[in-house]
Amino acid sequence: GKEVLLLMQALNTLSTPEEKLAALCKKYADLLEESRNVQKQMKILQKKQAQVVKEKVHLQSEHSKAILARSKLESLCRELQRHNKTLKEENMQQAREEEERRKEATAHFQITLNEIQAQLEQHDIHNAKLRQENIELGEKLKKLIEQYALREEHIDKVFKHKELQQQLVDAKLQQTTQLIKEAEEKHQREREFLLKEATESRHKCEQMKQQEAQLKQQLSLYMDKFEEFQTTMAKSNELFTTFRQEMEKMTKKIKKLEKETIVWRTKWENNNKALLQMAEEKTVRDKEYKGFQIKLERLEKLCRALQTERNELNEKVE
């Protein structure tokens, strides 16, 4: 609104239409330069978008690495279960062997029965400790797998949210590019139309000036003829009638030129209104562009937060 008021005040300070038209052309050139700056900023935003896409690909590769680590942990868990099963079978086999030895020792060596019983008790205590340790280790591994599954589910949700945000940013950037393209095309058409109108107005003004000069010359001639006619009025009434008709024709021509002047003034005012509307549209585009900048800053903050969380997860997995 302030720019429009300043433009109108600047135009009102000018006296001739040519100066006002030159000022409008200069203002339009400034607006075109600002539009080019907006295009440069759009290229910078596209570069930032490419950087975000690269970070997304990097996060996906990290996700695949985490999946591989999970598969390794699962294979280690299965191997540990097989090892526990083997230990359990060995302990059972050892217990059976000890039982047979005890029976044989009871039959052959009744004297050493107490010692063998003490050894069996010690073996039982050791086996019970091993079983308890295996159970605790299995519970710890189960909890670790559950925690890893929850972390993986959280990472999947974050990736899905990131993909949705990326799609939203792509759609908004595409919409902004389309709007800027349409605005540029509209500005180009309006510029060509205004240049054409300005050329025609200048040509018409020159013609009107020429016609005005010719009319002044004819009027001066008619005034001379009228003076001559006053001296010879008594001699010829026909010359007076002819002169009056020519004066009427000149009056009609002058009225016609005044009407054309009003029409061209109206066109010039319409061009001023069109330029004001273009300035308002530019203000709206600037506000939308600022909104896109704020959204991009938020996305960058979110990416940094995701990277921090990913590094923490990698540290925990290691």
- What does the pLDDT read at residue 120? 67
CA atoms of 79 and 73, how far apart (whole Å): 10
CA atoms of 83 and 78, how far apart (whole Å): 9
Instruction: Encode 264-301: b = buried (16+ Cβ within 10 Å), e = exposed.
Output: beeebeebeeebbebeeebeebeeeeeebeeebeebee
Look up residue 133 and give its two tokens.
Answer: 């340790």
Domain ranges for the chain: 1-97
| Burial (Cβ within 10 Å: 0-12, 13-18, ≥19) of residue 24 | buried
Q: Of all residues in the chain, what percent are helix, strand and coil, respectively (each to 5)?
A: 95, 0, 5
Q: 228 φ, ψ to 5°?
A: -65, -35
Q: Kindly report the number of other CB atoms within 10 A of residue 155's CB atom.
A: 19
318 residues of the chain, pLDDT tens digit each: 677 777 777 777 777 878 878 887 887 888 889 889 999 998 999 999 899 889 888 888 888 888 888 888 888 878 888 888 888 888 888 888 888 887 786 677 677 667 767 776 776 777 678 778 767 877 776 777 777 677 677 767 766 766 776 677 577 667 766 776 776 777 677 677 767 775 776 777 677 778 777 877 876 776 777 677 667 665 656 766 776 787 788 888 888 888 888 888 888 888 778 778 887 888 888 888 888 888 888 888 887 888 888 888 888 888
Residue 143 near residue 135 (C-beta atoms within 8 A) = no
Nearest 5°: the CA angle 52, 56, 61 is 150
- What does the pLDDT read at residue 37? 92
CA atoms of 260 and 263, how far apart (whole Å): 5
Nearest 5°: the CA angle 210, 212, 215 is 110
Nearest Cα neighbor of 310 from 143, 122, 159 is 159
- What does the pLDDT read at residue 173? 65
- What does the pLDDT read at residue 44? 92
- What does the pLDDT read at residue 63? 86
Residue 25 near residue 163 (C-beta atoms within 8 A) = no
